Amino acid sequence: MPLITEKLITLKNAWMASHITDAEFPTPLSEQGLHLYQLAHSELSTQIIDSIISPTESSLTFYPVDCHPLTIRYALVYSSYWQQEEQQQALVEYLTQIMFETDENAQLYVGFYNGKPAATGMIYTDISDGNKVALVSDIHALPLSNQAQLAQDMEQYLLQTAQQAATTVVLQK
């Protein structure tokens, strides 16, 4: 794994963990959710994206997560990645602890399908050797009949968005 990819993943994972590890009184359920998140992400692969296919018409409407109600929707959709209800509850507890500051390197997104939250994703950016680099990750869609298409729409949107702002784009999935 190239050094830039390793650095981005380490920084993103540290940011994701900080919402629990830096909390004064994290709940046991949120700590369990963090553990499940970390475990799932340790098994993902990465690739540097050289070119991005022009996106087709998307069935999603995309919103950056910039308030707590969208954080809740992000958590509810992303937690559906896990099959067991108690794991989903732990992930919701964990992910709803995410707090944003104006200068964050991370930007979460929720994709709405027919007016309802249906897909998630994240772009984490950093500066490396004077260049902006981006990691696209946490792509997931609800288990609907068009789940694969929704996830692909989210992936294409995030890759295009990241490419507009960064010289190097890495995809984690």
pLDDT computed for residue 55 by the predictor: 65
The whole-number pLDDT of residue 1 equals 52
Question: Which stretches within 85-169 are classed as H helix?
Answer: 85-95, 147-165
Q: Are strands 168-172 and 131-141 parallel, antiparallel or unpaired?
A: parallel
Residue in 166, 168, 172, 165 with CA at minimum distance from that of residue 121: 172
pLDDT at 99: 85
Task: Quote the Cα angle for 147-98-39, to 5°.
Answer: 60
Are the CB atoms for 123 and 166 separated by under 8 Å? no
Other CB atoms within 10 A of residue 170 CB: 24
Domains identified in the chain and CATH numbers: 3-172 (3.40.630.30)
155 token code pair: 């992936």
pLDDT along the chain (173 residues), means of 10: 87 96 94 98 93 80 96 98 97 93 90 98 94 97 97 96 94 96
Query: The tokens 């692909």 sit on which residue?
Result: 152
